[in-house]
């Protein structure tokens, strides 16, 4: 149990790389979709329309209150068949991956919404009036004046959230999706080396997370200049 079979890992490098591809795919899609939908939600939360504000508050409260493991199970049991019917997905599509991408994207949108909303709220109130004084409409002011400044202010927090997303991808093991962590532990269970394999997995996640933290620090330093 405590002896590592390095040759088994080397022989399984293709499987592990495929698993890492799934991990990174979930991370990237969750970031991109989460940012896009989170931006829309942040705009809704600042809207004068009460229905939009209520919708956003309910959405953010709901998704931030549900444990991610439970959310993954819900989407795995409910969403795949719904998506398959609506989108007419071919049988070759891995519905576990589709459900994971959907769950992570919608969840991260709730977190990015709060980050973006905080970035907008932190701007001087005169920015909006300045845009109006220049003859801009509300949407033009939001697009060209408010959001660029808000995005700049939120970059450090957004990058930190990206690190959290990457770490949380390991939870897809509950729906038997073959990400890096699941495929690595499967090798350990097969060869009876689960403890060393878990250590290797921890080191791999630590190395990638450390790189992402270093990038975050570099970006934060450049923005502070």
Regions of the chain where pLDDT drops below 70: 1-9, 80, 83, 87, 89, 91, 125, 127-128, 132, 223-225
> Which alpha helices (DSSP H) does 46-67 contain, by range?
50-65
Domains held by the chain: number: 1
For residue 219, tell me if it sits in a domain.
Answer: yes
Q: What are phi and psi for residue 147, nearest 5 degrees?
A: -65, -45
For residue 1, tell me if it sits in a domain.
Answer: no
For residue 135, tell me if it sits in a domain.
Answer: yes
Helix, strand or coil, per DSSP, at residue 33: helix
SS3 letters for 181-221?
HHHHHHHHHHHCCHHHHHHHHHHHHHHHHHHHHHHHHHHHH
For residue 197, tell me if it sits in a domain.
Answer: yes
For residue 43, tell me if it sits in a domain.
Answer: yes
For residue 177, tell me if it sits in a domain.
Answer: yes
Q: Look up the pTM and report it.
A: 0.83
Counting beta carbons within 10 angstroms of the beta carbon of residue 19, is it exposed (0 to 12), middle (13 to 18) or buried (19 or more)?
buried
For residue 96, tell me if it sits in a domain.
Answer: yes
pLDDT for residue 2: 55
pLDDT digits (tens, 9 = 90+) for 118-132: 888 777 767 667 776
CATH of the domain at 164: 1.10.3720.10
For residue 211, tell me if it sits in a domain.
Answer: yes
Domain that holds residue 214: 6-224
pLDDT for residue 225: 63
pLDDT for residue 184: 85
């Amino acid at each position: 149990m405590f002896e590592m079979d390095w040759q088994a890992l080397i022989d399984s490098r293709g499987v592990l790389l495929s698993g890492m591809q799934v991990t990174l795919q979930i991370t990237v899609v969750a970031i991109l979709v989460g940012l896009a939908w989170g931006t829309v939600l942040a705009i809704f939360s600042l809207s004068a329309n009460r229905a939009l504000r209520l919708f956003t508050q309910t959405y953010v409260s709901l998704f931030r209150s549900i444990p991610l493991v439970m959310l993954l199970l819900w989407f795995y049991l409910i969403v795949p068949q719904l998506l398959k019917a609506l989108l007419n997905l071919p049988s070759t599509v891995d519905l576990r991956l589709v459900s994971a991408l959907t769950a992570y994207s919608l969840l991260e949108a709730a977190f990015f919404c709060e980050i973006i909303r905080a970035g907008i709220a932190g701007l001087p109130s005169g920015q909006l009036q300045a845009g109006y004084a220049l003859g801009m409409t509300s949407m033009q002011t939001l697009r060209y004046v408010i959001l660029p400044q808000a995005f700049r202010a939120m970059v450090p927090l957004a990058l930190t959230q990206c690190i959290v997303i990457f770490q949380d991808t390991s939870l897809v093991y509950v729906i038997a999706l073959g990400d890096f962590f699941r495929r690595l532990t499967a090798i350990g269970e097969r060869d009876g080396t689960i403890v060393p394999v878990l250590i290797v997995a921890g080191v791999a996640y630590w190395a990638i997370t450390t790189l992402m933290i270093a990038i975050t620090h570099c970006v934060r330093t450049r923005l502070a200049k």
